[in-house]
Structure 1
Amino acid sequence: MFDKSSFEEMKKEIESLLEDRKDKFESICRYLYDHVPYYNWVGFYLVDGSKKLKLGPYVGEPTVHTTISFGQGICGQAAQTKHNFVIQDVSKETNYLSCSPDVKSEIVIPMMKNGKVIGELDIDSHYLSPFDEKDEAFLEWICKMVTGNA
């Protein structure tokens, strides 16, 4: 099983990714997908100026959900409420937008700038209940780093 104490070591590598790359969102997606075995889909949704999220860089299976309205699905709820969503079993959610029958859980962290949601980091897992407060804190840190709020 993955040792979540690795998150602290991974922060150094992510910091160097952010310094060295123009395609920081894509680099982070690839890094997380490659280094955390239960992160089976990693992507960013970016606010398009209206109350919609547009799919940005991602790694994993293609999704039909390239545009999501605020309030729609877990991603839309996170954008609307400005709160993290940690869903350990998506089959128990009434407002879940299914991307793949393999997805069992999801974590969504809004990215904030000047009190407004500008995007979010969305991660799907093929495992039930893999996410905990360490994942949440690590992903919040990433979102703050990419928005310059760290």
Structure 2
Amino acid sequence: MAEDLKIITSANKADQYQSLIPQIEGLLNGENDLVANMANVCAALKEQFKWFWVGFYLVKSNELVLGPFQGPVACTRIAKGRGVCGAAWERAETLIVPDVEEFPGHIACSSLSRSEIVIPVLNDGEVIGVLDVDSSELNEFDETDAKYLQHIISLIEFQ
């Protein structure tokens, strides 16, 4: 029965994103504070999907520095190329990790994190940060998540 529930959730993932996007647009409309907007996007995503951790890291002085997030305490600084976040930054591409234990150099901020997706935030072709999402379930993320999370990031004005 629990497996059936997971299948239904997977099938409805795009619908969940499509219902969430107008809400996020409403939160961002007329607000130009970057920190406030990143914080509200994290909160909206965590509430909708009940993920373990959702947050932004921003490039500062050639390292990723923790930004707004929802979830337990997190790693504060990440070097380029280190862990999933650092690798996504270095490669400038979205990384979907079905099992974080199998990712070389994974940074274990929490042993409860089992799968992860990291989407780079680009400004004029340069990575200026990443959106990091962790789940306590294996194989939580797929191309549907990548597509919609990239779209949600594009709604935030990073300047």
Provide TM-score, normalisation by structure 1.
0.92
The equivalent of 1:42 in structure 2 is 54
The equivalent of 1:80 in structure 2 is 90
The equivalent of 1:53 in structure 2 is 64
Is 1:106 aligned to residue 120 of structure 2?
A: no
C-alpha contact 1:73 1:96 (8 A) present in aligned 2: yes
Inter-partner Cα distance in structure 2 for 1:35 and 1:6: 8
Matched residue of 1:146: which SS? Answer: coil
Inter-partner Cα distance in structure 2 for 1:40 and 1:94: 21
Provide TM-score, normalisation by structure 2.
0.87
Inter-partner Cα distance in structure 1 for 2:110 and 2:87: 19
The answer to which of 104-113 and 20-29 deviates more is: 20-29
Inter-partner Cα distance in structure 2 for 1:19 and 1:106: 29
Which of 42, 63, 73 aligns to 1:62? It is 73
Q: Which runs of 5+ in 1 are unaligned?
A: none
> Identity over aligned residues, as a percent?
36
Q: Which runs of 5+ in 2 are unaligned?
A: none
Residues 147 and 78 of structure 1: CA distance in aligned 2, closer, same or farther (over 3 Å): farther
Can you list the C-alpha shifts for 1:48-107, whole angstroms capped at 9, x where unaligned? Answer: 1x32110000010102x1011111111001111101010000111121000111110000
Is 1:90 aligned to residue 103 of structure 2?
A: no
Point out 4+ residue stretches in structure 1 off by more than 6 angstroms: none
Residues 61 and 33 of structure 1: CA distance in aligned 2, closer, same or farther (over 3 Å): same
Inter-partner Cα distance in structure 2 for 1:127 and 1:62: 19
The equivalent of 1:146 in structure 2 is 156
Inter-partner Cα distance in structure 2 for 1:53 and 1:24: 19
Matched residue of 2:156: which SS? Answer: helix
| Deviation for aligned residue 1:147 | 3.6
Indicate the structure (1 or 2) with the bigger Cα radius of gyration: 2
| Deviation for aligned residue 1:17 | 1.0
Aligned length: 145
C-alpha contact 1:112 1:147 (8 A) present in aligned 2: no
Aligned amino acid, residue 98 of structure 1: A
Inter-partner Cα distance in structure 2 for 1:147 and 1:116: 14
